[in-house]
Chain A
Amino acid sequence: MHPRGHARRILPGFHLSLGITVTALSCIVLIPLAALVAKSASTGVGTFVEIATSPRTLAALRLSFGAALLAAMVNAVFGLLIAWILVRYDFPGRRLVDAIVDLPFAMPTAVAGIALAAIYAPNGIVGAVLDPYGIRVAYTPLGVAVALVFIGLPFVVRSVQPVLEELESELEEAAALLGANRLRVIWTVLLPPLLPALITGFVLAFARGVGEYGSVIFIAGNVPLVSEIAPLLIVIRLEQFDYAGAAVVGVLMLVLSFVLILGLNLFHASFRRSIGNG
């Protein structure tokens, strides 16, 4: 038996695997998110809008999304560079560098946060160098971005690396023999095929940055309206037993993240189609 209008699949497994997927996705993702939305809705429209448009909420959201975006952009550039070096050059300690890239994945984020706070504080190793120039990193929005760069880096490197490995050096040779200078080779031959993977890495780093909590709170200083991130605001509301207030911020983050990531994925898909291997 098979549904009318569908080609019969020779290899079995579609219905079973779809069933398992939907069940797992529901238990782990959809039901908790629905509960979150339900909780925030219980406050009523008036209160929802009031909490959503309060200066403190808006400042926290702006910081979380802004810093995550900035950090993801920085990571896109440096992550690409690191992936390039790891793939194209063989140097002593290459495997070591390769392993270090994954450390932000493995380390407890609080440890990273405390370490960053210690070296970027005005009396820390790096902070002491920057302080005379009036650059303050710890306890400012800049510090938030620094922490997010740290935890987002592996996403870009690991997304780009396999694609870069597939890219034959013959392409560069062909372009150079046709008369293209190095900059043109990078811009017209290397970057376009890497772009989909780069976008994937960017989205992952960005998504991680938006939700990041542990590593940020130590370096951010958490000054309301200045360096307080949205996830922290949620925790503060919870500690005040303001569950509805926490849920409202949570839903706002959810919706914003979803829209941004969906948008990037759609752009990604249309780009892949446009180069004929979608």
Chain B
Amino acid sequence: MTVALSIENLRKHFGGFEALRGVSLNVEPGELVALLGPSGSGKTTLLRLVAGLEVEDAGRILFGDVEANNLTLRDRRIGFVFQHYALFRHLTVEDNIAYGLRARPRRERPSVAEIRSRVGTLLDLVQLGGLEKRFPAQLSGGQRQRVALARALAIEPRVLLLDEPFGALDAQVRKDLRRWLRDLHARTGHTTLFVTHDQDEALELADRVAILNQGAIEQVGTSDDVYERPETSFVCGFLGETNRLPVEFAGGQVFLGELPIYGMAHFNTPGPGSLYVRPHDLQVTEGGTGALSGIVLSVRRIADRRRASIAVPGMPAAIETDISSGFAPAVGERIGLRIMRALTFNEAR
């Protein structure tokens, strides 16, 4: 198997803060991998190390079989897109995109006509044809980020690195650009690593998602893998909406207090643990065995679903559950909930 980018046991600290504690990741040619994690998880540090903007304390980075340490920033040929665009304000769109080509040493530099035609092709690719004479100040946020992307693509990068590329844009533009980037990636096939804290973005865009927490990778996998088969309780709690129930494992059963509430655990180790259940995996029942019961606190609408908060005795927080549109419980009403599907982890957190 060929690998376009391999990251081996990378470590980095800033003062007393360990930003990365031994991170390894392989990216295949043409793959789009998302680095997802809360702020401070080390995802941007990882990206900056790959770009060569920071120097690692230990570990190594390889582009194919070339060791990155031996390369200058120019020779790394990294296409980097910053969250706040970092466009050159005093240059037109055209000159921004051509910057990397004109910065090449004279013998490698394309001719003026060639540069112009390359810029034209890139402008069409990012759908900004006709705006080449504008200055960045005259463009919208989404347009600026597309200029930044064209500028990064102009140098024919080995790897494209995107640092929260849509972080500074409003919700609708983000959604449009997400879809557009997906198409663009399908057409151009650049090996891409992108950082985001927006899980919808990561799950929708990426071929694989790497989930970081406190400077280490918790899990790498396809969107379905990480969402449906989380390997750690952090991944389970971080992705999507979940209710965490503090439970007790005994005899292969899951107990909430005295009550067995959910069939078999994944393992047999007795002791305290957590049970994670998503709002759509709870079903409202009339009560009975294996069910939680509680008082309805509120009912509200979230886009195409209705969501109820239920106060269950013994729970640290209210349980969130989806309810069908035909069913309208009153606030204060007592209802039962049955857990249809859940994940259990045996560490106490």
Q: Which residues of B contact A168 (CB under 8 A)?
A: 84, 86
The answer to whether A275 touches B90, judged by C-beta atoms less than 8 angstroms apart, is yes
Task: Please determine whether B82 and A180 come into contact, CB atoms closer than 8 angstroms.
Answer: no
Q: Can you name the residue of chain B whose Cβ is closest to the Cβ of A193? A: B90
B contact residues, total (Cβ < 8 Å): 29
Do the beta carbons of A178 and B137 come within 8 Å of each other?
Answer: no
Asked if B80 contacts A277 (CB within 8 A), the reply is no
Encode contact with B along A238-278: 1 for CB under 8 Å, 0 otherwise: 00000000000000000000000000000000000001110
Residue B151 is within 8 A (CB to CB) of chain A in the complex: yes
Chain A 183-204 interface 0/1 with B at a Cβ cutoff of 8 Å (1 = within): 0100011001100000000000
Inter-chain contact A276/B100, CB cutoff 8 Å: no
Q: Does A86 contact B (CB under 8 A)?
A: no
Asked if B324 CB lies within 8 Å of chain A CBs, one says no
Chief secondary structure at chain A's binding surface = helix
Say how far B92's CB is from chain A's closest CB, in angstroms. 8
**Are the C-beta atoms of B73 and A177 separated by less than 8 Å?**
yes
Task: Determine whether the beta carbon of A171 is less than 8 Å from that of B88.
Answer: yes
Contact (A277, B137) CB under 8 Å given A176-B73, A177-B51, A179-B104: yes
Chain A interfacial residues counted at CB < 8 A: 20
Is A175 interfacial (CB 8 A cutoff)? yes
Task: Say if the beta carbon of A126 comes within 8 Å of chain B.
Answer: no
Which of B74, B138, B151 has the most chain A CB within a 10 Å cutoff? B74
* Residues B146-184 near A (CB distance < 8 A): 151-152, 154-155
Contact of B103 among A173, A175, A192, A276 (CB under 8 A): A175
Let me know if A179 and B103 touch, CB within 8 A.
Answer: yes
Which residues does chain B contribute within 8 Å of A175, judged by CB atoms? 88, 99, 103
Hey, which chain A residues are within 8 Å of B100, CB to CB?
A: 178-180
- Note all chain B residues with C-beta closer than 8 A to A184: 103
Q: Complex: how many Å from CA A275 to CA B92?
A: 8
Q: Tell me if B80 and A174 are in contact (CB < 8 A).
A: yes
Query: In the complex, which residue of chain B has the Cβ closest to the Cβ of A177?
Result: B80
Instruction: Judge whether A90 is part of the interface by a CB distance below 8 angstroms.
Output: no
Q: How far is the CA of A189 from the CA of B99 in the complex (A)?
A: 10
- Residues in A whose Cβ lies below 8 Å from that of B89: 193, 275-277
Offer 28 A-B interface pairs, CB within 8 angstroms, sorted by A: A168-B84, A170-B82, A170-B86, A171-B86, A171-B88, A173-B86, A175-B88, A176-B73, A176-B74, A177-B76, A178-B100, A178-B103, A178-B151, A178-B155, A179-B103, A180-B74, A180-B100, A180-B103, A181-B103, A184-B103, A189-B88, A192-B90, A193-B89, A193-B90, A276-B89, A276-B137, A276-B138, A277-B89
